[in-house]
Amino acid sequence: MKMTSVKVVAGLLFMAISAGVQAMSAEEKGLAIAVEMDQRDTGFHDMTADMVMTLRNRKGDESVRYIRIRTLEVEGDGDKSISIFDRPRDIKGTAMLTFSHGLKADDQWLYLPGLKRVKRISSKNKSGSFMGSEFAYEDLSSQEIEKYTYKWLRDEPCGELQCYVIERVPAYKYSGYTRMVSWIDQTEYRAIKVEYFDRKNSKLKTLKLSGYNQYLDKYWRPDEMYMENHQTGKSTRLEWKNYRFKTGLTDKDFNKNALKRIR
Amino acid sequence: MKLRITAFSCFLFFSAVGQAIEISGNIASELRYFPEEPVFFGASRFDRGSSLSLSFAPEIYHEWNEGERSIIFSPFLRWDESDSERTHRDIRELNMLLVQGDWEWRLGLGRVFWGVTESQHLVDVINQTDSVENIDGEDKLGQPMIQASWSQNWGVLDLFILPGFRERTYAGERGRLRAPLVVDTDNPVYESKSKDRHVDYAVRWSHTLGVWDVGLSNFYGTSRTPELRQRGYKLIPHYNLINQTGLDLQATLDEWILKLESIYRIDQQNNGNKNYAALVGGFEYTFVGAFETDADVGWLVEYHYDDRSLDATTPFQNDLFTAVRVALNDAESSELLAGAFVDLDYGGYSLRLEANRRLGDRWKLSLEYQGFNNIDPDDVLYTQRQDDYLQAELSWFF
């Protein structure tokens, strides 16, 4: 996680607490909320999880993908991760290694098991669909503070909880969105809902996150993420299973050799 | 009694590791249609028309110690209706992997890929090409190897000892896509006295520096590409000893990917008369989300050069490859590649089309078209001038 602006923001936070939140501008308040979210999610070191992704088209036809994810937290930069595809069976064994970097383009390699080939790929496709789903690569990538500018919009109830509603505008190149609006619960700083607006600023998708559990007494993770595309009528349900933290993964598990041998 | 003991030990074995043994793979049926008559006698058996072929490629994998130890076994079987040489089997992989700190060891039959370009794989020299599978040269035979891979912050160093040589496969008398004379794969000639038992060596250093991915390699041993010399009514493959140095380089910029592969090959025989250099290089430009859809449209251009010029044994002495690749990024992973090789010396061109799409969760349909047009009598491809084909393959995955 990027630490550059943290001190400044910690100062802002202190001001917020001492002077009362109302004294901050909407931008400062939005940023302070993002920083608090980030702080609460720092220090997990590494994480592994299994993902079941169910794609559903307008007619109701479903198609399922199984993906395993390993993530390594990197101090002072974006996270490193490997995604291993188990289903559909024709792409079984395909794996992707990503070194994410805040505003700079990510480094990405794809392993093609048929040819035993590791191929460096362009990470420009941030806005592209991940595995044909309603999730874009940018929706699932490491969320660094400097990747967006923030603005607090309002506070409002979200279900039984009270939420901050903040607007994020991507600061990185090649995003498919003009902005996103997120509902963040005020007690645990968990994302409850996100609305995505396309390049023409019309509402494109809504993401709902549910079934939050806390791991290691600190890290909140959802069991389900449901993304609905309002323009195409398609949807994707992402179920998370077997979250494990601090499993002992190191840098050596996130290089091209590891990508080639991983199963 | 004996049977019972065997059954019991099998039971013990599978209950011990059974849960961790993974079996996967595919069965495929392939239909090739040749609209034109074959040029050569023998192949006329099936004239114009179609030929059916079936393949089976299972993979059995077991790992332990959190993946730091593993065994893989992947045999391959093909049956071909027309060509007895294309009916063949191979062990693509049968090896054991051991990871120890920065070191990775692999022992057994394996497959290694080197390189970055799409239309030709120049530096990829470890495995023999299974050329009866497809003329794209991407199918390879399992190579006996001891591989040590050392991962450091200055890159990865791979060392290979390659005991044992695999001969290239060639279409038989009744096969298509062949020379006028059949290659006699039963009587190969080796430069090395130890013939196919010669131990080859290879080393490769590869590293990533920012946008650059670079690889430098050297191979010493029996050439995977034979010289074909006529004896009677057959072609005899001659496998010489070579030393090949290779470079592969890729720069991954936003929408541009620049690629280069180059080799220098020293042929021990003929006082260096047959030494040569070759390269393939170009770019891939991708329009992400083209035409306001989810599709990516890529434009590929690769130039091929071989300094043996018109004496080159490959068709890529002075050729230009250009193609369009479309990935729809839909639920069925639909992809299409349409390209052409143009021979800048002879003016002939060959067209290639590849398309595939998943059907449901377990099926995949692949279509392929290969056309040879206006091929000059001096071009290496001349013998295949009437071997245009259309291929449909349906695979089932388990």
Give the up-direction half-sphere exposure of residue A210: CA atoms within 13 A in the CB hemisphere.
Answer: 8
The per-residue DSSP string of A136-178 comes to: BHHHHS---GGGEEEEEEEEEEETTEEEEEEEEEE-STT-S-S
- If you measure CA to CA, which chain A residue comes closest to B206? A256
> Looking at the partner chain, which of A107, A124, A256 has a beta carbon nearest the beta carbon of B255?
A124
pLDDT in the model for residue B291: 83
Pair A38, A1: CB distance under 8 Å: yes
Average pLDDT over residues A84-111: 93
B376, B385 in Cβ contact below 8 A?
no
Q: Chain B within 8 Å of A229 (Cβ-Cβ)?
A: no
pLDDT at A173: 85
Alpha carbons A173 and B318: distance in angstroms, whole number: 39
Residue with tokens 């295949």: B384
Is domain A46-124+245-261 annotated with CATH 3.90.25.10? Answer: no
pLDDT for position A1: 45
Dist. CA A204–CA A135, nearest whole Å: 11
- Rg (C-alpha) for chain B, rounded Å, is 22
Q: What percent of chain A has pLDDT over 70?
A: 92
The confidence score (pLDDT) of residue B356 equals 97
pLDDT of residue A10 exceeding 70:
no
Are B48 and B37 within 8 A, CB to CB? yes
Q: What is the pLDDT of residues B218-274, one digit of tens each?
A: 999 999 999 999 998 899 999 999 999 999 999 999 889 999 999 999 987 766 678
To 5 degrees, how large is the angle CA B89–CA B17–CA B144? 35
Confidence of residue A71 (pLDDT cuts 50, 70, 90): very high
In a mutagenesis test of the A interface, which of B151, B206, B291, B393 is the best target, namely the one with the most A β-carbons within 10 Å? Answer: B151
Rounded Cα distance, B158 and B72, in Å: 20
CB B94 within 8 A of CB B105: no
What value does the CA radius of gyration of chain A take, rounded to a whole number of Å?
Answer: 19
Query: Does A56 contact B at CB distance below 8 Å?
Result: no
Question: What pLDDT does B311 receive?
Answer: 80
* Confidence at residue A17, expressed as pLDDT on a 0 to 100 scale: 53
CB B162 within 8 A of CB B144: yes
Q: Could you tell me if residue A9 is left (phi over 0), alpha (psi between -120 and 50 degrees) or otherwise beta?
A: alpha
Ranges A21-25, A248-252, B248-252, B258-262: which has the least confidence: A21-25
ipTM at complex level: 0.91
Tell me how far the alpha carbon of residue B98 is from its chain's centroid.
26
Q: What CA–CA distance (Å, rounded) separates A262 from A253?
A: 9
pLDDT at A6 > cutoff 80:
no
Out of A91, A128, A133, name the one closest to residue B288 (CB).
A128
Q: State the average pLDDT over residues B318-323.
A: 96
Nearest-angstrom CA–CA distance, A182 and A159: 14
**B160 in Cβ contact with B146 (< 8 Å):** yes
Average pLDDT, chain B: 90
**Is some CB atom of chain B closer than 8 A to the CB atom of A200?**
no
Question: Which has the closest alpha carbon to A34: A4, A9, A3, A17?
Answer: A9
Least confident of A18-22, A127-131, A174-178, B58-62: A18-22
The token pair at A221 is 């993770």
Work out whether strand B189-190 and strand B234-239 pair parallel, antiparallel, or are unpaired.
Answer: parallel
Angle between helices A6-19 and A26-40 (to 10 degrees): 110
Tokens of A38: 């980030």
B194 touches chain A (CB under 8 A): no
Token pair listed for A158: 């979200």
Between the alpha carbon of residue A208 and those of residues A67, A78, A222, the distances in Å are 20, 24, 10
A261 in reach of chain B (CB within 8 A)? yes
Instruction: Tell me the nearest-neighbour CA distance from B29 into chain A, angstroms.
Output: 15
How does pLDDT run across B321-361, given as a tens digit for each residue?
999 999 999 999 999 999 999 999 988 899 999 999 999 99
What are the structure tokens assigned to B93, written together? 């992989």
Strand-pair category, B318-327 with B296-306: antiparallel
Delineate the domains of chain B, giving CATH numbers in brackets.
Answer: 20-397 (2.40.160.10)
